[in-house]
Structure 1
Amino acid sequence: MLRLTVPRVVLALVGLLLLTYAFAVAPATVAGGRSDQAADRLARPTPGVVAPVESSPSPAPPPPVFPPAGRTFIGVMTDKGPHDFRPLDRFTAAARHQPQVMLFSEGWATATFDRALFDRIKARGMMPMLGWEPWNYRIDQTARKQKLTARQIDRLRANQPRYRLARIADGHFDSYLRSWAVGIRSLGYPVAIRFAHEMNGDWYPWCELTNGNRPGDYVKAWRHVHDVFRRAGATNVTWVWSANVRWSDSTPRLAAYYPGDAYVDWVGITGYYGTGAFSRYLSFDAIFKRTHAEIRTFTHKPLVITETGASNGAGRKAEWIKQAFRTLPAYPDIIGLIWFEVNKELDWRIGSPPAAAKAFAQGVAAARYDVRWSPEMVPRTTTTRR
């Protein structure tokens, strides 16, 4: 029989404590990383094994550019614009092609910002381009109803002292400008503004040759309008500077009207076959090449034919359209062409005659014009120099 003496009891207690440490305390210490040796073993990499590297998220791809490189968009302007899409539908059916840009005009005397106009165009898969005109267009309408000559109409509508360029530059219209800037900013998608076009003529009150305007006033007015939008945070605007084709050496050189690349995103040219100096048959090259070359002496911004059309006065409308589409690839810096689908001074619509519609449909069927627009796209603002 084992006798319980004091030394034996002490030894038993010591043994019990050692067993408790071995099975409970020691494993927890190692697992908790408090053992220097265990921590050292965990910190040392295993020979031949590469430690995994945490990967950072890939940057988001840049948004697609409109139009893509090597492509040219087709746009349209009708007399109804987004107020009535029936003329657009007729154009689309005749061209068998969905346009990607719609140009429409609003005059300062009567128009206030209306989001619905822009949203209607966007919903049709087209980028809105606002032709923003600082004048009272009703004077023009009244003159036309009086059956006056073209030059008489020009003189009447160009004389509108309220809309002198100096008044725009001096801030007289700033509250009006800000109302549009805030509205366009709220759209949240790209729009183009073609402000005070054809400034090198003498038929609008914003031309320097009319309305008491002086040399240099156009650039000052343009920059002021642009700066009001910039201060309002309307950075979703593509600014389109659009001149009329040079038809004579007597007309002013275009560089005098150019606000500078910091104020312009696209440059434009307006030109038609079948009216004025271009009444006799002239090819696309004969109408546009000279002005295109002149613009390229002071800017290399992407270029858009912002208005064009052809009459059928000599029965050669379809021929002109075919030739135009054959010629366009020779101008890789032309990123868009907007057709003036209106029966105004003459019938510029592509459906008149049917042969013109056929020629247009064949032209835009080329891969160069296979373009789509979406609100997520970023308008192209650079081009490759030739």
Structure 2
Amino acid sequence: MVRLTVPRVLMAVLGALLLAYAFAVAPATLPGSRDDARSDRLARAEPNSVATAEAEAVAATESSPPPAEPSPSPPPGPQLFPPAGKAFIGVMTHKGPYDFAAVDAFAKAAKRQPQVMLFGAGWASDRFDRKLFDRISGRGMLPMLGWEPWDYGVDAAAREKGTPRRQIDKIRSNQARYQLSRITRGDFDGYLWSWAKGIKSLGYPVAVRFAHEMNGDWYPWCEMSNGNRPGDYVKAWRHVHDVFRAVGVSNVIWVWSPNANWSGQTTKLATLYPGDGYVDWVGVTGYYGTGAFAKYRSFDAIFNETIEEIRTFTKKPLVITETGASDSSGRKAEWIKQTFQMLPAHKDIIGLVWFEVDKERDWRIANSPAAATAFAKAVAAPRYDFTWSPDLLPRTELDD
């Protein structure tokens, strides 16, 4: 048994006091206590979080590019002629831009202002005349020049004598001066240059239908007549085109225009095609009421075979460059109505030129109330409702 003494009691009391101090006082003040840790965290983290946010904001301002100003809207693309999904109506008259009476009569009968006017010029006697083009464009129509390397006086003289038609064809086509080889070798270059410079000076588009119906035998530029040989037509076309290019002409729409095939003996069109680099529009001429098409044949029956052949070698926009209907069988109005019902199915046809002339047959609509009514009703469709202006860009490629 432990004996209690005064020293031992004093030591026990002192030990108890020390133990109480260790548990009650020291934890609140010793380094590493909970309160010290919290205070230390506040002292280090809270001020630094503000500084960090400010620094990050400054860094973001300095490293980020300034806000971009809104970019202007791109300018609208060029307006095309004809617009997408549309087709123009053209007209050709006997006196052309020398007298617009027939054009006015046609427009009145059709209740539609044509957007294109075709007129002819022969190399033997016609010189460039700006007034003719300006008269047409001033009336809101694209001028289309039928440019013909021949002397049309020979044809006129034969008609006045009452010469039979096929005999006229032989007389007309036999003009040695205008053989294709002479065009290619440059015999007419001075004449070509004068027209090229004149057309360039116009400053607005002009369609040039050069040496049309070349697949026949009734013009001196046909390969089947006038001593011409296979391949001569393409060479002549390219030469004429190259002269215009050398002059710097950029406002010509080159229109290549054969006749609708009428027999299995017709020259293959691919051999007469100058190539897409030399042609902007392809065309076809065809009439109901004459020649091989004297009996009633619909638009498709007359044109489809030729169009299908053309589509084997080019996809250029297509124009019916001359057409008309005779009333000799009393079906002119019917043909017009049926034609305009068929046209919308031909998405590649961008225009049709009506031959408003009394020549061999009376093709005019202005002198036939029934034909005029049928034509006016047909072209009242929105497909033909637009205008031509000199600032429009000619459509030279088809939409996909």
TM-score when normalising by structure 2: 0.83
Residue 361 of structure 2 corresponds to which residue in structure 1?
Answer: 346
Residue 114 of structure 2 corresponds to which residue in structure 1?
Answer: 99
* Residues 154 and 172 in structure 2, CA contact (< 8 A), matched pair in contact too: yes
Of 148, 153, 167, the residue aligned with 1:133 is: 148
CA RMSD of aligned residues (A): 1.6
Distance in 2 between the 1:55 and 1:222 partners?
Answer: 51
Residue 40 of structure 2 corresponds to which residue in structure 1?
Answer: none
1:128-207 alignment to 2 at 5 Å? 128-207=143-222
1:182-261 alignment to 2 at 5 Å? 182-261=197-276
Distance in 2 between the 1:176 and 1:296 partners?
Answer: 34
Could you tell me the percent identity over the aligned residues?
67
Once the two structures are superposed, what CA deviation does each residue of 1:306-345 show, in whole Å capped at 9, x if it has no partner?
0000000000000000000000011000000000000011
Q: In terms of Rg, which structure is larger?
A: 2
Distance in 1 between the 2:98 and 2:387 partners?
Answer: 23
1:193 partner SS: strand
Once the two structures are superposed, what CA deviation does each residue of 1:241-281 show, in whole Å capped at 9, x if it has no partner?
00000011011111110000000000000000000010011
Once the two structures are superposed, what CA deviation does each residue of 1:180-206 show, in whole Å capped at 9, x if it has no partner?
001101111111000000000011000
Distance in 2 between the 1:55 and 1:131 partners?
Answer: 51
Of 378, 390, 396, the residue aligned with 1:363 is: 378
1:61 partner SS: coil
Distance in 2 between the 1:327 and 1:155 partners?
Answer: 35
Aligned-residue offset at 1:370: 1.1
Aligned-residue offset at 1:47: 7.7
2:257 partner SS: strand
TM-score when normalising by structure 1: 0.86
Gaps of 5+ in 2: 1-57
Distance in 2 between the 1:50 and 1:218 partners?
Answer: 64
Gaps of 5+ in 1: 1-42
Residue 319 of structure 2 corresponds to which residue in structure 1?
Answer: 304
1:313 matched to 2:313? no
2:393 corresponds to which letter in structure 1? Answer: V
Residue 76 of structure 2 corresponds to which residue in structure 1?
Answer: 61
Distance in 1 between the 2:197 and 2:76 partners?
Answer: 29
Distance 1:256 1:49, change over 3 A: closer
1:118 partner SS: helix
Distance in 2 between the 1:100 and 1:378 partners?
Answer: 14
Distance 1:58 1:247, change over 3 A: same
Distance in 1 between the 2:119 and 2:168 partners?
Answer: 21
Distance in 2 between the 1:169 and 1:60 partners?
Answer: 43
2:239 corresponds to which letter in structure 1? Answer: H
Residue 99 of structure 2 corresponds to which residue in structure 1?
Answer: 84
* Residues 84 and 399 in structure 2, CA contact (< 8 A), matched pair in contact too: no
Residue 21 of structure 2 corresponds to which residue in structure 1?
Answer: none
* Residues 132 and 193 in structure 1, CA contact (< 8 A), matched pair in contact too: yes
Distance in 2 between the 1:227 and 1:55 partners?
Answer: 46
Residue 119 of structure 1 corresponds to which residue in structure 2?
Answer: 134
Distance in 2 between the 1:329 and 1:265 partners?
Answer: 21
Distance 1:228 1:360, change over 3 A: same
Distance in 2 between the 1:257 and 1:366 partners?
Answer: 36
Aligned-residue offset at 1:283: 0.5
1:73 matched to 2:88? yes
Distance in 2 between the 1:58 and 1:231 partners?
Answer: 38
Distance in 1 between the 2:329 and 2:256 partners?
Answer: 32
Distance in 2 between the 1:79 and 1:95 partners?
Answer: 18
* Residues 241 and 266 in structure 1, CA contact (< 8 A), matched pair in contact too: yes
Distance in 1 between the 2:323 and 2:223 partners?
Answer: 23
* Residues 333 and 383 in structure 1, CA contact (< 8 A), matched pair in contact too: yes
2:135 partner SS: helix
* Residues 357 and 364 in structure 2, CA contact (< 8 A), matched pair in contact too: yes
Aligned-residue offset at 1:63: 1.7
1:258 corresponds to which letter in structure 2? Answer: Y
Residue 279 of structure 1 corresponds to which residue in structure 2?
Answer: 294
1:103 corresponds to which letter in structure 2? Answer: L
Once the two structures are superposed, what CA deviation does each residue of 1:111-162 show, in whole Å capped at 9, x if it has no partner?
1111111111000000000000000000000000010000111111111100
1:148 corresponds to which letter in structure 2? Answer: T
1:297 corresponds to which letter in structure 2? Answer: T
* Residues 45 and 51 in structure 1, CA contact (< 8 A), matched pair in contact too: no
